[in-house]
């Protein structure tokens, strides 16, 4: 899978190590259920950059968080 290949390239590990790292993670379904926003990276890099910029702008418009006392 693309995810497996990316882990191997990024971490410089073999297939077995990459599979173990992926198996230790929460499932994709669980990560998506917990996410406030999801960016997909399945198209041109320009589309990803545009999506990041849009999301960044949305977050910059939010009021500052209030720290609990």
pLDDT at 65: 86
Q: How many C-beta atoms lie closer than 10 Å to residue 16's C-beta?
A: 8
Backbone angles phi, psi at 16, to 5 degrees: -60, -45
pLDDT at 68: 78
Collect the ranges in the chain with pLDDT lower than 70. 69
Q: What is the pTM of this model?
A: 0.59
pLDDT at 67: 82
pLDDT at 4: 93
pLDDT at 41: 87
Place of tokens 């890099």: 45
In sequence order, which ranges of 1-69 are alpha helices (DSSP H)? 2-11, 15-23, 28-34, 45-60
pLDDT at 1: 84
């Amino acid at each position: 899978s693309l995810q497996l290949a990316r882990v191997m390239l990024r971490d410089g590990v073999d297939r077995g190590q990459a599979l173990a790292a992926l198996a230790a993670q929460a499932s994709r379904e669980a990560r998506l259920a917990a996410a406030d926003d999801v960016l997909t990276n399945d198209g041109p890099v320009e589309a990803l950059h545009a999506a990041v910029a849009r999301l960044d702008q949305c977050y910059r418009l939010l009021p500052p968080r209030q720290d609990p006392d």
